[in-house]
Chain A
């Protein structure tokens, strides 16, 4: 019977951990639908705070900025990160230092990266704005996309690359017609991950946005609103951001596991 008790204990611990992880999020989501808007009392179900978001120009502007940053940094980091992954895996023997250089942006604390990028942009005298946020997001997203695509390349059958060459294809044609299509699920998974990371990134965007409100992103907007207390609008906004992230991440994981029907 000891086994059975152990199992029950494990279930209990699992329950406690899940409660710890998800109760705060559930509260936030719940309150975003609370008609009265006060965290102390439930007065009825309503979408009114979501409606209020749509009338708040600051929030809409910030959401637009976030979308621009996320889309462009995703496109850039996906293209560069995928090519980097392919290049690194083709020349696998090049040792550990390359590995470390590629992974560094994932490990370096965001605050350090943020300060470094700020100093760098100041040093070269670039006027800061959305474009500097995009470049900064590419820096860390590149590493994530590269990691996802490389994971897929670990069990990539390189003989199909030789087969393509043998059948008369140039290196570029092989890349276009064989390597990239076969890696596409991993590339899309990497892109979705990059998009998610970019959407809710705060510190680096905050440091590299420049002065003024012109290039404020959604997380920065939430941060500035929260200084006056948590409003029901913020709950609604956070719920939306979370929904986007969860959907993108779920898609990403699904794609990366399933692979192509042809594999």
Chain B
């Protein structure tokens, strides 16, 4: 049995009358890339700041390798934070910024220089070592902030929206770069993000937060394919929702048609529920346990796929079906056309409404 690495135990935080974090318990493994995912106000940043030591815990405890760190001030914790604003020291050069944390550890000058050069190499900014932060691009600043936190070789690196300020193309490059660095340094990364795609691409495990509580913790695959709540289903990726109600042992849609599901979610009351299906599980060809028909009201072309918006009797919003480029080549659907899509019972999630 391996020892728990970083353990968040029943942690709560209240600001005045606001419950920012509400009894969160979470174990994070060594060398894990962990993502705290949530909308703004979900408490994810507060939780991260409690890990870094910038917020006191109202209740609960945080332990690292079995020892409580909750009472330590930020400069005593073997964790480093990469700030959302990067928080680079404007009066210091890139090299001085990176060296700062090592100087605080009172390392010999030669070692500081060596480690700064080493990490400058890793982030490929050796040629800009003497520049000041305001002479760098956003992407370069981001890498300096990362290097400054990483060079101390903390046990855990906390990253607050690390890619939030970058443009889309740079962001997807940096997602892989962060993963590579995490692997190379063998350091546990905890990243706070509101971007579900970012979390899916980078993280080994994801925790979805809402209103200060943990909704679901799991691998990206589990979170995407087996969401445990309507919120999680809606928050991650695109999801079609169809209002249904329980009828005997099964579910029927608003038009009375049967909707088959293998969902394990127990709906006790006979009242309303909601069925959820991913767009890529709705197929225009073949057969399935379920089907629906309607008129195509819009087409959204994304290059590698084509999204069909289909107006049906089953819900107010159009149902979205995703066709791959290959499928679309054969069919070439048009707006105004009537279409029937099929899906499998195992792809129908049911949530209480």
Contacts and interface: CB of A to CB of B under 8 A. Distances in A.
Nearest to A167: B101
Interface stretch (A78-86, A97-105, A155-163, A220-228): A155-163
Given A166-B75, A167-B80, A167-B148, A160 B88 contact: yes
B91 A262 contact: yes
Nearest to B131: A262
A168 B73 contact: no
Contacts of A160: 87-90
Nearest to A169: B104
A10 interface: no
Given A261-B132, A262-B134, A168 B87 contact: no
A170 interface: yes
B92 interface: yes
Given A163-B83, A262-B133, A168 B89 contact: no
Contact of B104 (A168, A182, A260, A261): A168
Contacts of A231: none
Contacts of B132: 261-262
Nearest to A171: B75
Interface string A20-46: 000000000000000000000000000
Given A262-B90, A263-B90, A173 B104 contact: yes
A165 interface: yes
The SS class assigned to the A binding surface is helix
A263 B80 contact: no
B89 A166 contact: no
Interface in B132-155: 132-134, 148-149, 152
Interface residues on B, range: 20 to 34
B270 interface: no
Interface string B80-121: 110101011111100000001100110000000000000000
A164 interface: yes
Interface string A174-196: 00011001101000000000000
Nearest to B145: A163
Contacts of A177: 100
Task: Identify the interface centre among A159, A162, A166, A261: most chain B CB within 10 Å of its CB.
Answer: A166
A163 to B, nearest CB: 4
Nearest to B85: A159
A134 B349 CA distance: 79
B152 A168 contact: yes
Task: Identify the interface centre among A165, A168, A260, A263: most chain B CB within 10 Å of its CB.
Answer: A168
B74 interface: yes
A167 B90 contact: no
A164 B100 contact: yes
A160 B84 CA distance: 11
Contacts of B73: 165
B54 A162 contact: yes
A163 B100 CA distance: 10
A157 B85 contact: yes
Nearest to A177: B100
Contacts of A164: 89, 100
Interface residues of A, number: 22
A178 B133 CA distance: 14
A163 B147 CA distance: 13
Contacts of B81: 162-163, 166
A162 B73 CA distance: 11
B52 interface: yes
A168 B100 CA distance: 9
Contacts of A170: 75
A253 B52 CA distance: 39
Task: Identify the interface centre among B75, B81, B132: most chain A CB within 10 Å of its CB.
Answer: B75
A46 to B, nearest CB: 48
A153 B26 CA distance: 38
A162 B104 contact: no
Nearest to A161: B87
Given A162-B83, A261-B132, A262-B133, A167 B88 contact: no
A19 to B, nearest CB: 43
A63 B170 CA distance: 63
Given A159-B87, A160-B88, A160-B90, A167 B104 contact: yes
A181 B100 contact: no
B95 to A, nearest CB: 13
B54 A168 contact: no
Interface string B31-56: 00000000000000000000011100
A216 B105 CA distance: 53
Interface in A192-232: none
Interface in A246-261: 260-261
B74 A166 contact: yes
Nearest to B49: A162
Given A173-B104, A262-B90, A262-B92, A162 B74 contact: yes
The 5 nearest A-B residue pairs measured at CB: A168-B104, A167-B101, A163-B87, A159-B87, A262-B132
Given A159-B87, A162-B87, A167-B80, 9 more contacts: A160-B87, A160-B90, A162-B54, A163-B148, A167-B152, A168-B104, A169-B75, A169-B104, A262-B132
30 contacts: A159-B87, A160-B89, A160-B90, A162-B54, A162-B74, A162-B87, A163-B83, A163-B88, A165-B73, A166-B52, A166-B54, A166-B75, A166-B149, A167-B101, A167-B148, A167-B152, A168-B104, A169-B75, A169-B100, A182-B91, A184-B91, A260-B91, A261-B132, A261-B134, A262-B90, A262-B91, A262-B132, A262-B134, A263-B90, A263-B91
